[in-house]
Amino acid sequence: MFCQGVIFKKFLKTRLDFFLFQYYIICMGIWKDKITATWKYKFESGGRCYGGGGYKNRAAANKARNLRRQQIADCHGPGINTNMSFAEASNRYLDFSARRHAPKTCAYKSYVYREFVANVGNRPLTQITPALVQEYLSTRPTNTNYNRHRKDLAALFSFSRKTLQAISYNPCDALEKLPEPVFVKKIPTQVEFMKILDAATPDERDFLTVLTHTLARIDEILRLQWQDVDFEKKILRLYTRKNSGGSYRSRDIPMNDCLYQTLLKLFNARTQEQWVFVNPGTGTRYQHRPKFMRGLCRKAGTPCYGFHSIRHFVASHLFDKEKIGKSTIGKILGHQSASTTDIYLHSLDDSTREAMKRLEATFLDSSNTTVLS
């Protein structure tokens, strides 16, 4: 299957096409043959590979694959799961993951499982012990990478235990997380942020204005549709999948005058009726904008910040300068946990500063020298 990806790469016009092609090949086990223009499927069961092709669309191929799997299961009886291999379990879990998680998340999980097989082989699930998983995780270059792979392997084994009933325990439960280095998010100062705004073109400024006045994630803005903008009530509706269930969840953001006027200007100048921000090259929404902030920061002469840094900056500004409460900021950010909001508040509240001032007053004498005794 990986050879097919290399062969067909020359037929794909963009890197996104190739990524999506690899995603269907590796994550789903269902792909479209670029030569015959028909859909094929492939899966593993009981240590053997099965496949088929010639289907008109992906749905037909998926239906045929599920039917074939059921036929094999009926043939072997209820004991088939006992000998299920790691590769077969990962394919089934990735099918489930593709319906629940974002493509990028599913693709990374697939990478983890391929790495695991490359290191320890495609063994039956019942032969995978905590020691074997630990042996693989010890090959990871950093503690952060160790923990990430452990998490994705644990998700697969949990699915294999609960849903597939192929194992009786999760081998990752016996493995503890490793300590990770503390990552301090770099956010712009107010002076740097104003420089970035000053360096922006009118179109770039409109984009940053919407991002700033909603405290939204970049993907929430790229997915923003005109049907989510209520000019009459001055409310903006944003959608995110950042929750435990993985499904889209909405939240309403009130529009201030600056955000209202910016969106109204964009609405009056719109070229289509769906997306607020349209990629002129494709005629549809932007999938991502990786060069936007990099080029703008270079132009402004500031360190290179990302879109998420703006979200941190505005949240800290509201808390530190405008004295907005954590719960209110958390609602705007779309957080379900107050502890998550704390990560965004890169400042010290007044009570902390007052405590240190009182400490200073206590241990200083009339000559402003520190009392040591």
Under DSSP, the state recorded for 322 is S
Of residues 20 and 98, the one with the higher pLDDT is 98
Most confident of 83-87, 97-101, 129-133, 343-347: 129-133
In this structure, the answer to whether residues 208 and 155 fall within a common structural domain is no
On whether residue 371 sits in a domain, the answer given is no
Under DSSP, the state recorded for 26 is I
On whether residue 258 sits in a domain, the answer given is yes
On whether residue 364 sits in a domain, the answer given is no
By CB atoms closer than 10 A (0-12, 13-18, 19+), residue 356 is exposed
Q: Which residue, of 142, 174, 206, is where some domain finishes? A: 174
On whether residue 216 sits in a domain, the answer given is yes
In this structure, the answer to whether residues 46 and 158 fall within a common structural domain is yes
Domain that holds residue 308: 190-349
Say yes or no to pLDDT of 226 above 80: yes
In this structure, the answer to whether residues 204 and 145 fall within a common structural domain is no
Q: Which pLDDT belongs to residue 89? A: 95
3: pLDDT confidence band, cut at 50, 70 and 90?
very low
What is the amino acid identity at position 281?
G
Q: Give yes or no for a contact between 12 and 18, defined as CB atoms under 8 angstroms apart.
A: yes
Structure token pair of residue 13: 């016009």
What is the overall mean pLDDT for the chain? Answer: 83
Q: Give yes or no for a contact between 206 and 266, defined as CB atoms under 8 angstroms apart.
A: yes
CB atoms within 10 A of CB 88: 26
On whether residue 359 sits in a domain, the answer given is no
Query: Cα 245 from chain centroid?
Result: 13
In this structure, the answer to whether residues 44 and 129 fall within a common structural domain is yes
**Measured distance CA(149)–CA(108) in Å, rounded:** 10
**DSSP H helices in the chain:** 2-8, 15-22, 58-76, 86-100, 103-120, 130-137, 143-162, 190-199, 202-212, 218-222, 257-268, 292-300, 307-320, 326-333, 338-344, 350-362
Q: Give yes or no for a contact between 263 and 244, defined as CB atoms under 8 angstroms apart.
A: no
On whether residue 112 sits in a domain, the answer given is yes
Of residues 70 and 126, the one with the higher pLDDT is 126
**Measured distance CA(196)–CA(209) in Å, rounded:** 12
| pTM of the complete model | 0.61
Q: Which residue, of 143, 174, 205, is where some domain finishes? A: 174
What is the amino acid identity at position 222?
L
Q: Which pLDDT belongs to residue 145? A: 96
Number of domains in the chain: 2
371: pLDDT confidence band, cut at 50, 70 and 90?
very low
In this structure, the answer to whether residues 196 and 126 fall within a common structural domain is no
Contacts of 127 (CB under 8 A, 6+ apart): none
In this structure, the answer to whether residues 169 and 24 fall within a common structural domain is yes
In this structure, the answer to whether residues 145 and 243 fall within a common structural domain is no
Identify any residues that bridge with 252 across adjacent strands, giving them in sequence order. 237
On whether residue 183 sits in a domain, the answer given is no
In this structure, the answer to whether residues 145 and 197 fall within a common structural domain is no
Strand 39-45 and strand 48-55: the pairing is: antiparallel
Structure token pair of residue 343: 């990560």
Average pLDDT of the segment spanning 91-117: 92
pLDDT tens, residue by residue, 110-146? 999 999 999 999 999 999 999 999 999 999 999 999 9
In this structure, the answer to whether residues 247 and 141 fall within a common structural domain is no
Say yes or no to pLDDT of 149 above 80: yes
What is the amino acid identity at position 350?
D
On whether residue 358 sits in a domain, the answer given is no
Q: What is the DSSP track for 255-307?
A: --HHHHHHHHHHHHT-SSSSBSSB-TTTSSB-S--TTHHHHHHHHHTS----H
In this structure, the answer to whether residues 63 and 131 fall within a common structural domain is yes
Structure token pair of residue 324: 């907005």
In sequence order, what E strands does the chain have? 30-32, 39-45, 48-55, 229-230, 235-240, 249-254
Of residues 35 and 8, the one with the higher pLDDT is 35
In this structure, the answer to whether residues 169 and 198 fall within a common structural domain is no
Q: Which pLDDT belongs to residue 248? A: 77
Q: Residue 279: which CATH number?
A: 1.10.443.10
In this structure, the answer to whether residues 51 and 106 fall within a common structural domain is yes
